[in-house]
Chain A
Amino acid sequence: MSTPLLEVQDLFCERDERVLFEGLNFSLEAGEIIQVEGPNGSGKTTLLRILSGLSQAFEGDILWQGEPIDEVRDDFLSDLLYFGHLPGVKAILTPEENLRWYCALHPHTRTEGITEALANVGLYGYEDVPCHSLSAGQNRRVSLARLYLSDAPLWVLDEPFTAIDKRGVARKEALIAEHAANGGSVILTTHHELAIRDNLRKVTLGGQASPGERMEVV
């Protein structure tokens, strides 16, 4: 077996004197989608923040392409697209300016695709409108437009479908499936029932583990 893209070994995390998870093991191969499940407060967001490197409050090892993630931080970050609770969209900039800024910071992105990406998330014609006059859902879609711009192999998406309408959700799901089909990998949390079946695995936190999983549950 080749080295997995991302490997989590014996991960332990506690918050406010409560153990969120311990002995958590899983790995992510290229072309795979992992859905992190669990009730509210089970540490889904915390896990995603740990995996992306935002939070260091854990014990255990995270390997990126077989190397400890701290030692290959720059390579890892070049390959990562993170979508968190906060959209990372500046209210007084326009959607286009926001995305330009993102592309400037991230090497594996296509600045020339911004107009198309905005059209893809249903914001055609809003390029030059300041984001504070857009709705919350539209702001999240500005942030989601990054998915169309990025060539990063790993997507970490925390509740990407919140405040997105049904049709939008279906398109995002198709995009995620396409990303996986092209050899990309996705880790996401969502309360939404995914239509994707291929290459999908589930990791459950804080609850009952569904059969066939490679992880231990607290």
Chain B
Amino acid sequence: MAKSWKMPTWFYRLGSPRWSFEIMGKLLPWFAIGAVVLMVWGAIWGLAFAPADYQQGNSFRIIYIHVPAAILAQSCYLLMAVAGAISLIWKMKVADMVAKSCAPIGATLALLALATGAIWGKPTWGTWWVWDARLTSMLILLFLYIGVYTLHSAIENEITAGKAGAVLSLVGVVNIPIIKYSVEWWNTLHQTSTFTMTERPAMPPEMYLPLLLMVIGFYCFFAVVLMLRTRAEILEREKRSGWVRELVEAS
């Protein structure tokens, strides 16, 4: 294992489950408010007021869910790998719990991106599924999530499971750019559709501003779900420690 080097103090405090639990408790409402406001605002603007696409009409509006879900599914994998690396190098319990919480959320997001992609595909291409580069990459990302999740649940010992999952997600992170590149390249070789989601003319601001709101809203929502899961995980693992008992008795 790598030797530890000095990091700022707040970094080590993050390693304390109790401190993290409390700070997450304080941050939760703000992110929840942010998520609700941004997503409602973005959704109403995007669905009701943004102009229809000149090619696809109203069906394009599904991007207001599809694109944020796809972006987040990828960020979530990165976060999972970074948290895994932190827990491997600094043996930080909370990082391990964050990494564990990431896998199911990320898988759900990838699934959401695939489902919305399929729904979007039907009016656009006339079929539910097209081997489009982005959709294929997203499918492989879902497979990677499933791998990490399955490995995690196959190992009984919580600590061992966390470490094994961390190694696998790090291997995945090294591979994701290679996979993306190879799939994009494969796609240009076997061009199946004339219209790709990748190459679109620049969107006018009244189309992409609501999208931006939705993306930020999704990030806030993701933060809320992640913190909820991590807090539950902290309670579960620290259930025998004094502060958790006090918390339970107080409530």
Contacts and interface: CB of A to CB of B under 8 A. Distances in A.
Interface of A: 17, 56-57, 70-71
A170 B157 CA distance: 39
Contact of B1 (A17, A57, A70): A70
B40 interface: no
A127 to B, nearest CB: 39
Contacts of A56: 1
Dominant secondary structure of chain B at its interface with chain A: loop
B240 interface: yes
Contacts of A71: 3
7 contacts: A17-B240, A56-B1, A57-B157, A57-B159, A70-B1, A70-B3, A71-B3
A57 B91 CA distance: 11
Contacts of B1: 56, 70
B156 to A, nearest CB: 9
B17 to A, nearest CB: 14
Dominant secondary structure of chain A at its interface with chain B: loop
Nearest to A55: B160
A56 B1 CA distance: 11
Contacts of B3: 70-71
A167 B243 CA distance: 57
Nearest to A19: B240
A56 B91 CA distance: 11
Nearest to A17: B240
A70 B157 CA distance: 23
Contacts of B240: 17
A112 to B, nearest CB: 36
Contacts of A70: 1, 3
B163 to A, nearest CB: 9
A56 B240 CA distance: 21
A201 B157 CA distance: 33
B87 to A, nearest CB: 13
Interface string B155-166: 001010000000
Contacts of B159: 57
A70 B3 CA distance: 8
A-B CB proximity, top 5 nearest: A57-B159, A70-B1, A71-B3, A17-B240, A70-B3
Nearest to B160: A57
Contacts of B157: 57
A57 B240 CA distance: 18
A70 B1 CA distance: 8
A70 B2 CA distance: 9
A53 to B, nearest CB: 11
